[in-house]
């Protein structure tokens, strides 16, 4: 597969899963280095521009700049993956995300053998959210969604 064909396939990323920044063919091989990332808007000081804290209803908020979640005014200690998972789910409340979609968006791969990784992280995330745990809903045989009930 040439780099142009590969780039076309990678550009099919769903919104929020990153943006194709470049494809670099590896000399002497049929492999290409694909650079996928998120572009960050910089403010006048060269620092990332302030992103608004995203309130998620009564008492729960995601702060993308500080990379933290607050529940009833207290900071919820999350791992990097837990924060990424919650941020991805809360970016589109009411949308069902399959385990495969979550693997691609949060972990960057689609290895079918690791679908349980999503379940384990959702379980851990729910336990840390306390009374807000019900907001991450399991949609049987499909995946997970965030709801603002």
The number of CA neighbours under 13 Å toward the Cβ of 111 is: 7
* 21 occurs within a structural domain: yes
Domains contained in the chain, number: 2
Read off the pTM: 0.63
Whether residue 85 is found in the same domain as residue 134:
yes
* 22 occurs within a structural domain: yes
Residue 79 predicted with pLDDT over 90: yes
Q: Residues with Cβ < 8 Å from 32, sequence gap 6 or more?
A: 3, 6, 23, 24, 25, 26
* 59 occurs within a structural domain: no
* 100 occurs within a structural domain: yes
3-state SS string for 13-75: CCCCCCEEEEEEECCCCCCEEEEEECCCCECCCCCECCCCCEECCCCEEEECCCCEEEECCEE
* 142 occurs within a structural domain: yes
Whether residue 142 is found in the same domain as residue 78:
yes
Residue 66 predicted with pLDDT over 60: yes
pLDDT digits (tens, 9 = 90+) for 101-141: 999 999 888 776 678 899 999 999 999 999 999 999 999 98
Q: Supply the pLDDT for residue 84.
A: 93
Q: What's the domain range around 104?
A: 74-146
DSSP, res 108:
S
Mean pLDDT, to the nearest integer, of 79-101? 92
* 8 occurs within a structural domain: yes
Q: d(Cα 2, Cα 19) in Å, to the nearest integer?
A: 19
* 122 occurs within a structural domain: yes
Q: Supply the pLDDT for residue 96.
A: 95
Q: What is the CATH number of the domain that holds 123?
A: 1.10.10.10
* 42 occurs within a structural domain: no
Whether residue 79 is found in the same domain as residue 128:
yes
Whether residue 33 is found in the same domain as residue 82:
no
pLDDT, the chain, mean: 76
Whether residue 27 is found in the same domain as residue 89:
no
């Amino acid at each position: 597969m040439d780099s142009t064909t590969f780039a076309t396939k990678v550009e099919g990323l769903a919104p929020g899963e990153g943006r194709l920044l470049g494809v670099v063919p590896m000399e002497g091989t049929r492999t290409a280095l694909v650079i996928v990332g998120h572009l960050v808007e910089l403010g006048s000081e060269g620092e990332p521009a302030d992103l608004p804290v995203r309130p998620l209803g009564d008492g729960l908020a995601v702060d993308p700049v500080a990379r933290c979640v607050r529940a009833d005014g207290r900071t919820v200690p999350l791992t990097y993956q837990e924060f990424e998972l919650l941020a991805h789910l809360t970016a589109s409340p009411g949308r069902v995300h399959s385990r495969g979609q979550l693997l691609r968006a949060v972990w960057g791969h689609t290895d079918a053998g690791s679908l349980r990784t999503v379940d384990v992280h959702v379980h851990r995330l729910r336990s840390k959210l306390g009374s807000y745990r019900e907001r991450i809903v399991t949609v049987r045989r499909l995946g997970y969604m965030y709801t603002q009930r």
